[in-house]
Amino acid sequence: MKKTSFMMAAALVATMASCSKSGAPKADLKTDVDSLSYSIGLAQTQGLKPYLANAMGIDTTDMAEFIKGLNEGANAGDDKKKMAYFAGIQIGQQISQQMMKGINYELFGEDSTQTISLKNFMAGFISGVNGKSDIMTIEQAQEIATKKMESIKNEQIEKKYGAYKKENEKYMADIAKKAGVKALANGVYYEVITEGKGAIPADTSRVKVNYEGKLVDGTVFDKTDTIPATFPCNAVIPGWTEALTHMPVGSKWIVYIPQDQAYGARETQKIKPYSALTFTIELLDIVTEK
C-alpha cells in the first residue's frame, strides 16, 4: 500500500476512534505503522461476532465483559501466572460447555433433567491436576468410569426399550418351541432349509455367503443383492459365528439370534437396542487365501 493511502486511512480511522465503544483503547494514529496496526486489528474481527455467538454461545449483550477479558489476555504478555489463570478459565469453559454437555448426552440422551455432578467432577479433575488423589488412581478411575458409564447407559436404554426387550425375548422363547428348530450354544437356534454336504468353517475361516436379515416384526434391515458377502467367521456378531462354525458348505439355514448374541443394548442403523435377529443364510463356500 502506498504512503498516501496510509495517510488517507489514518484520517478515516482517527475519526472512527472518537466513536469507539467502551473498553476499547483510543486509537493514536500518528505513523504508517500506527495505521497499519489499527487496520490489521480491525480486519481480524471479520466474522468474530457470529463466531462468538454461534460457536461459543456468547450473548452479544455481554460484549463489554468479552472486551474486558480480551484486554486482560492481550496485555498479559509473558506473565506466567496470568497465562496459567487464563488457561484455567479456558479449560474450565470447555468443561462447562463441551465436556459436561457431551457426557450428559451420552449417558442420559435428551433427558436434560439428569446430569453428572459438576462438584464431584471438579473434585476429581483438580485432584488429578495436583497429582494428589487419595481415593483412587487414574488407572482405577478410567476403569470405574468405563464400567459405571456402561451401567448407567444400559439402565437408561432399558427404561426406554424395556417393553421392546420383553417382546424380543418372547419371540426367542416361542422360536425355541417351534417344530423343526434346533439349538446351538448361547441361545442361538436354526432351522434347516437345505443341508449342505461340504466342509464346516472354522472360526478363522473366510466364507462367502448370501443372506437376508429381519427384525422380529419382519422388517428386512440388511441383505446381499447380486454379489455375495465375504468375511471371516469371527469378524461378525457372535450369533453368526456360532451358526457358521456348525454349517456345512452348501447349506441354507434360518438362524435365530438373541439380542445378547447380536448387538445387545447398542443401536445400529435400523436395529433398535435388544433386538433379536433372524437371518436366512446360504453358505456358498469357504474362501481359500491365495
- Annotate 30-94 with DSSP letters as a single string: -SHHHHHHHHHHHHTTTTHHHHHHHTS---GGGHHHHHHHHHHHHT-TT-HHHHHHHHHHHHHHH
In the predicted model, what is the mean pLDDT of the chain?
A: 88
- pLDDT tens profile 97-126: 899 999 998 888 888 888 999 999 999 999
pLDDT band at 7 (very low <50, low <70, confident <90, very high): very low
What integer pLDDT is reported at residue 24 of this predicted model?
Answer: 74
Could you tell me the CA-to-CA distances from 90 to 50, 68, 186, 269, 272 in Å, in that order?
Answer: 19, 15, 50, 37, 39
Number of helices (H), then strands (E), belonging to the chain: the values are: 9, 7
Residue 284 has pLDDT above 70, yes or no: yes
pLDDT tens per residue across span 135-190: 999 999 999 999 998 898 888 888 889 999 999 999 999 999 999 999 999 999 99
Pick the CATH number of 168-287 from 3.90.1580.10, 3.10.129.10, 3.30.70.1230, 3.10.50.40: 3.10.50.40
Confidence tier at 2 by pLDDT (50, 70, 90): very low
Using DSSP, state whether 213 is helix, strand or coil: strand
pLDDT tens-digit map of 190-233:
999 999 999 999 999 999 999 999 999 999 999 999 899 999 99
Residue 273, pLDDT above cutoff 90: yes
Compute the distance between CA of residue 88 and CA of residue 224 in angstroms, rounded to an integer. 54
d(CA 250, CA 196): 4
Residue ranges covered by each domain of the chain: 3-108, 118-155, 168-287
Burial 222-233 (b: 16+ CB within 10 A, else e): eeeeeeeeeebb
